[in-house]
Amino acid sequence: MNQVLLLIDVQRNMLRPPAPVPAAQAVSATITTLLERARAAGAPVIFVRNNGGEGDPDVPGTPGWELVHEALPGERVIDKSTPDAFHDTDLAWLLPPTASVVVAGMQSEWCVRSTCLAALEHGHAVTLVRGGHATYDDGEPAADISRKVEEELAAAGVRMAEPSEPF
């Protein structure tokens, strides 16, 4: 299978102090494992990095903007400024038309959701890894928000997978 690992906003401001997501330790471990598995399988890896605006914790060039994992030679880094990683980026051109996209990253209800839906619209098979995405508490526990996003995306055609399944 032609799988591509798409890591969305796996940046220091989301996963490291001073304000990590509640599940930062667990989701970081899952993402690290996925990245290791993808690299071992020779699967392409694309990092999507959010460029925040003035006053945001992920303003380009700040420590919060930095990726948690270093991109290796041949791995691409795409910068975005909207939740949809396809919008105004080269992502659509970097993904082979028949690629199955395996998604992990931040924030479940924003960038993960928007990018998964956009990937479906571009004709890709999309897999979202359980435990490989997270968000902040916002009126309800973060875990509940992430679970609801999984339900919505599954209904839209995204496959849900355990961390041990892809690659």
What's the pLDDT tens digit per position in 49-69? 999 999 999 999 999 999 999
Told to judge if 116 belongs to the known catalytic residues of this protein, a careful annotator would answer no
3-state secondary structure of 159: strand
User: In this structure, are residues 116 and 1 in contact, taking their beta carbons and an 8 Å threshold?
Assistant: no
Answer for the pair 7, 166: CB distance below 8 angstroms, yes or no.
Answer: no
SS (H, E, C) 36-97: HHHHHHCCCEEEEEECCCCCCCCCCCCHHHCECCCCCCCCEEEEECCCCCCCCCCHHHHCCC
Which among 28, 47, 58 is positioned nearest to 132, based on CA atoms? Answer: 28
- Selecting among 14, 85, 111, 153, the annotated active-site residue is 111
Instruction: Note the pTM of the prediction, 2 decimals.
Output: 0.97
28 sits in which H/E element? helix 24-41
What is residue 1's predicted lDDT score, i.e. its pLDDT?
61
* pLDDT at 163 (0 to 100): 95
Q: What gap in Å lies between CA 12 and CA 157, rounded to an integer?
A: 30
Reported as a single tens digit per residue, the pLDDT across 147-165 is: 999 999 999 999 999 999 9
Check residue 127 and give its pLDDT. Answer: 98
Q: Write out residues in the chain with pLDDT < 50, as ranges.
A: none
